[in-house]
Amino acid sequence: MNGLKKSLLVSIWFMFLTFPIMVIRVNTVNKTIEWRWENVLWIGLGSFVLSFVWRYLMERRNRGGSSDGDQGGKVQTMIRQIMTQPRFFLPAGAFLLAAAAVFPLITSTYQVNIMITALIYVMLGLGLNIVVGLAGLLDLGYVAFYAVGAYTYALLNYHFGLGFWLVLPLGGALGALFGILLGFPVLRLRGDYLAIVTLGFGEIIRLILENWNEFSQGPSGIANISRPGFFGMEMGVTQASVYIYYLMIAMVIVTIFVVNRLQDSRIGRAWMALREDEIACQAMGIDKMKTKLMAFSLGATWAGFAGVIFAAKTTFINPASFTFLESAIILSIVVLGGMGSILGVILAAFIMILLPEYLRAFSEYRMLIFGAAMVLMMVFRPQGLISTPKRHYTYKGQAKETGAKA
Amino acid sequence: MDYFWELFFGGLTRGAIYALIALGYTMVYGIIELINFAHGEIYMIGAFTALIVAGVLSMMGFSGISILVLASLVAVIYSMSYGFTLEKIAYRPLRHAPRLSPLISAIGMSIFLQNYVLLAQTSDFLPFPRLIPKFEFMKPYYSTMAESDLLIILVAAVAMILLTMLIKFTKMGKAMRATAQNRKMAMLVGVNVDRIISTTFIIGSALAALGGVLIASHIGQINFYIGFIAGIKAFTAAVLGGIGSIPGAVLGSLVLGWTESFGTGYISSDYEDVFAFSLLVLILIFRPAGILGRSTTQKV
């Protein structure tokens, strides 16, 4: 009964709150007002039901303490087992690879193009995952490096006719260079300041691309960028997409491999230490500056690669593809997937890109749902879809003597 | 020289607007150390509410000044409600979470609110009625300053004086300062911290709504995206002056306003936003604590 009353109050409050914006639409030119009273009803009903869900989840969150509920826990351990035992993940990986290989043979060019986009986002997500997930540096201007990669290829191709394969490493290198350029000044900044400066940096890059007409052709962008070649073979549009698709699969596999190896390397552990506690990490003798710069430049490298491929895929780029929203999407992929978790990021990238593609009807609501998902994720499941287990090292040698103390 | 004064007052007006928004940022940051990314959206919602109310009222036959007052009043009330709800949904559950969580939640909320207005209203620029009346005595100064500039500067100044008095002399202000200094300690001496934080959001939102109404009727058009850029710039201003400090926010806003105004006036109008962001980056690199901010050493 108490719950009913509370929900009733909530729904009345939301009806009041959304009243002017949801109900009234004023046309100041024609001097007409459109009243949409039915929206009040929807809002009222919706918030009434949702408030029950909210309260239930809230209670569960408070009861369950930190994170894993019983069910979530089981699924998590299952996934973890699959991930760690070669018996499971080798066949699973082989199956996925086979499925990915035959995908363009059994579907249309349209599907292949969507898949390429999703794969580009997988790459971007994994790249940003290095910076945000592993090193704990919130980068809101990640799309700037993506733009650097894309414009590197577009401009070099336009002016000098350089080919894709030549520019791909160049794009990565330039991305890394910009990463370091940005990284240097902002090294001293903590958390949220860093976020704002990276955001500002991203916007500066976009604004320059938009306004410096002689350099980047401004908002009209650069068209007719050539597609990647394959030993000088002539390819139609369909073949080119399939080719880029396979290329992307290969790139993603390389990315996964590299990120995975990085995670377990010395620098990867330094990143995680930095993320957990900066001061303790410094006290352990880790060079903070080097570690952060590495994170920035490596993350930016992947964005550079992805940018080059993006330009080659669409054959047309303009600054509108590199807005803050894009950074936010990539960030929400990382957050949704579970910071630091490779599998989670891949999964989240597919969900975020493919879902709105296939559910065209709700693609209008896509950003609305992204935003809500980011908030809900932070409130109810901050560790993401698939959380990375914290690793504990147990010292086995003298476990008996120190066991009691530990 | 006339051109100089035109730019000077243009910058002053801009600065006053930024200050109204920046105060919300700086107050929230001062108390819970959170960059309230959705603050710009509150400002946008304030402007939209004012537009809707003004539209309805003008069709009902109300006259200029009464529309302005009523529209601002409704906008302020609604923005306060949004600010309050926002804090309750997106930030309160994350009070004890790691630092990045509320920030990401704030970005999510900002995206959500933008798209909510986009879907419920429109993505086009809407013309905003000129609500600010013309005064006879302003005629000689039109080359440098219009009524809207004067009104914006006056409202901003009054709002700031009231806010300063609220914080300095009232019990509520004292509780706010205590909470900002040490939340746990404030709780121990009987301050209702949750309520103080809510109040901070409400006051900040009210100021942002005032800014929204004023700038919308000054510029003459709004859309769902205005909150983003204005929010970032106001945040820049808050950081510039030293975040957490109220006079700092005002000073930072004025500096930012003048930088933009003179930058666009004397260098190039294409790069207006670039000036603001570059200033932000430079300030954070060379003086991370801001102009009036004190640098604090991090405790282990």
Query: What is the structure's pLDDT at A80?
Result: 66
Distance CA A324, CA A207 (A): 11
Report the first-to-last Cα separation within chain A, whole angstroms. 48
Q: Which of residues 118-137 of A touch B (CB under 8 A)?
A: 136
Enclosing H/E stretch for A35: strand A32-35
Angle at B176 between CA B174 and CA B182, to 5 degrees: 105
Q: A318 near A222, Cβ under 8 Å?
A: yes
Query: Within a 10 A sphere around the Cβ of A398, how many other Cβ atoms?
Result: 8
pLDDT digits (tens, 9 = 90+) for A199-245: 888 888 888 888 887 777 878 888 877 777 766 666 677 778 888 88
Own/partner contacts of A197-201, CB < 8 Å, gap of 24 or more, are: A197/B280, A197/B281, A197/B284, A198/A138, A198/A139, A198/A140, A198/A141, A198/A142, A199/A140, A199/A141, A199/A324, A199/A327, A199/B232, A200/A141, A200/B232, A200/B236, A200/B277, A200/B278, A200/B280, A200/B281, A201/A141, A201/A144, A201/B277, A201/B281
Distances (CA, A) of A18 to A225, B121, B154, B203: 46, 12, 31, 20
pTM for the model stands at: 0.84
Question: Contacts of residue A31 in chain B, CB cutoff 8 Å?
Answer: 59
- In the structure, what pLDDT confidence band is assigned to residue A8 with cuts at 50, 70 and 90? confident
Rounded to two decimals, the ipTM of the complex is 0.83
Q: Which of residues 224-243 of B touch A (CB under 8 A)?
A: 228, 232, 235-236, 239
Q: What is the 3-state secondary structure (H, E, C) of A235-286?
A: CCHHHHHHHHHHHHHHHHHHHHHHHHHHHHCHHHHHHHHHHHCHHHHHHCCC
Q: B84 near A14, Cβ under 8 Å?
A: no
Question: Contacts of residue B77 in chain A, CB cutoff 8 Å?
Answer: none
Query: What is the structure's pLDDT at A331?
Result: 87
Beta partners for residue A69, in sequence order: none
Beta partners for residue B74, in sequence order: none
pLDDT digits (tens, 9 = 90+) for A182-203: 888 777 777 677 887 888 888 8
Query: What is the structure's pLDDT at A230?
Result: 67
A70 pLDDT exceeds 80?
A: no
Highest mean pLDDT among A16-25, A105-114, A246-255, B121-130: A246-255
User: Which of the residues B52, B59, B92, B228 would you substitute to probe the A interface, choosing the one with the greatest number of A C-beta atoms within 10 Å?
Assistant: B52
Distance CA A52, CA B230 (A): 36
Contact A378 B105 (CB under 8 A): yes
A399 pLDDT exceeds 80?
A: no
Contact B239 A193 (CB under 8 A): yes
In A, minimum Cα distance to B105 occurs at A375
* Alpha helix stretches (DSSP H) within chain B: 2-32, 39-59, 64-86, 100-120, 147-169, 171-181, 183-188, 193-219, 226-241, 246-266, 272-286
Strands (E), A319-358: none
pLDDT digits (tens, 9 = 90+) for A326-364: 888 888 888 888 877 888 888 888 888 887 777 776 777
Give mean pLDDT, residues B37-57. 89
Distance CA A124, CA A127 (A): 5
Cβ within 8 Å of residue A346, ≥6 positions away = A122, A125, A126, A256, A337
- In the structure, what pLDDT confidence band is assigned to residue A125 with cuts at 50, 70 and 90? very high
Distances (CA, A) of B3 to B10, B163, B193: 10, 33, 49
B277 touches chain A (CB under 8 A): yes
- List the single residue in B103, B105, B235 with the smallest CB-CB distance to A138: B103
Query: What is the structure's pLDDT at A101?
Result: 77
A185 touches chain B (CB under 8 A): yes
A12 touches chain B (CB under 8 A): no
A29 touches chain B (CB under 8 A): yes
B72 touches chain A (CB under 8 A): no
* Alpha helix stretches (DSSP H) within A64-142: 70-84, 86-106, 109-128
Question: Contacts of residue A335 in chain B, CB cutoff 8 Å?
Answer: 104
- In the structure, what pLDDT confidence band is assigned to residue A124 with cuts at 50, 70 and 90? very high
- Per-state percent for chain A, helix, strand, coil, to nearest 5: 75, 0, 20
B131 touches chain A (CB under 8 A): no
Give mean pLDDT, residues B22-49. 87
Q: Name the residue with higher pLDDT: A54 or A81.
A: A54
% of chain B beyond a pLDDT of 90? 13
Contact B97 A189 (CB under 8 A): no
Q: In angstroms, how far is CA B19 from the centroid of its own chain?
A: 6
Distance from CA of A103 to the nearest CA of B (A): 34
Distances (CA, A) of A354 to A119, A328, A358, B153: 10, 17, 6, 49
B281 touches chain A (CB under 8 A): yes
Give mean pLDDT, residues A26-43. 79
Q: Which amino acid is at A402?
A: T
In our burial notation (b when 16+ CB lie closer than 10 A, e otherwise), range B267-298 reads eeeebbbbbbbbbbbebbeeebbbbbbeeeee
Q: Name the residue with higher pLDDT: B96 or B269.
A: B96
Give mean pLDDT, residues A161-180. 88
B284 touches chain A (CB under 8 A): yes
pLDDT digits (tens, 9 = 90+) for B171-190: 988 998 888 888 888 899 98
